[in-house]
Amino acid sequence: AGPDFNEHVLHKTILVGDSGVGKTSLLVQFDQGKFIPGSFSATVGIGFTVSTGRYCRVRWLQNKVVTVDGMRVKLQIWDTAGQERFRSVTHAYYRDAQALLLLYDITNKASFDNIRAWLTEIHEYAQRDVVIMLLGNKADMSSERVIRSEDGETLAREYGVPFLETSAKTGMNVELAFLAIAKELKYRA
Ligand code: GDP
Ligand code: MG
């Protein structure tokens, strides 16, 4: 770990990507180890961001501790309340994020094409050193796949970010994705 790494600090980690790609399902799988089918868009929660002192609509605000090489890394994971449908994820959502999971759905070409737009927004509003990980979700739906793994890899390489295919349904690579984020947060310091 870097000399300044503090295991008591909460690292704000946000989920980003088009509506329906599986952000909430991924978080539920990581948090509870199970897949709850159906969309989560109906319920809206209210969260309070201490750092900005403003109310912000979030669907989920979950604290998780991940152990990396015997050291605890605390993640405060934020999920949107569906604002991504209107491309109106607030700038406050990005502002103090230290890590970001950017998702597309391997069965939805538009969600993959929109990754570039999301990255443009991220580069505009997020901190310069934000840790980014690109995820191709719904990898269990192989018969409906329209985005090849290589396409995800190529895009990730172009932007210099790590890439994994995940399944919020089977749990494939879900923990690994959060572990990779935690590892990066710990060692980049
Ligand atoms: P969000 O809008 O990005 O938060 O997406 P949701 O988590 O609400 O998921 C949208 C839909 O895709 C729901 O019907 C989920 O059950 C489904 N879904 C999410 N992740 C997966 C996955 O990995 N595999 C499959 N087969 N379905 C998924
Ligand atoms: Mg959601």
Maximum CA extent, the chain? 48
Question: Would you say the CB of residue 168 lies under 6 angstroms from ligand 1?
Answer: yes
Nearest to 131 by CA among 88, 61, 64, 182: 182
pTM of the model: 0.89
How much is the mean pLDDT over the chain? 85
Kindly report, residue by residue over 104-157, the tens digit of the pLDDT: 999 999 999 999 999 999 999 999 999 999 999 999 999 999 999 999 999 999
Relative to the alpha carbon of 103, which ligand is closest? 1
In this structure, what are the phi and psi dihedrals at residue 86, rounded to the nearest 5 degrees?
-105, 15
Q: Distance, CA 187 to ligand 1 centroid (Å)?
A: 31
Relative to the alpha carbon of 177, which ligand is closest? 1
Question: Would you say the CB of residue 138 lies under 6 angstroms from ligand 1?
Answer: yes
Query: Collapsing DSSP states into helix, strand and coil, what is residue 161?
Result: coil
ipTM over 0.95: yes
| Ligand 1 atom index nearest CA of 38 | 14
Whether 75 contacts 63, CB under 8 Å: yes
Query: Collapsing DSSP states into helix, strand and coil, what is residue 66?
Result: strand
Kindly report, residue by residue over 74-108, the tens digit of the pLDDT: 999 988 766 666 666 677 788 889 999 999 999 99
Q: Whose C-alpha lies nearest to ligand 1, atom 25?
A: 138
Amino acid at 177: A
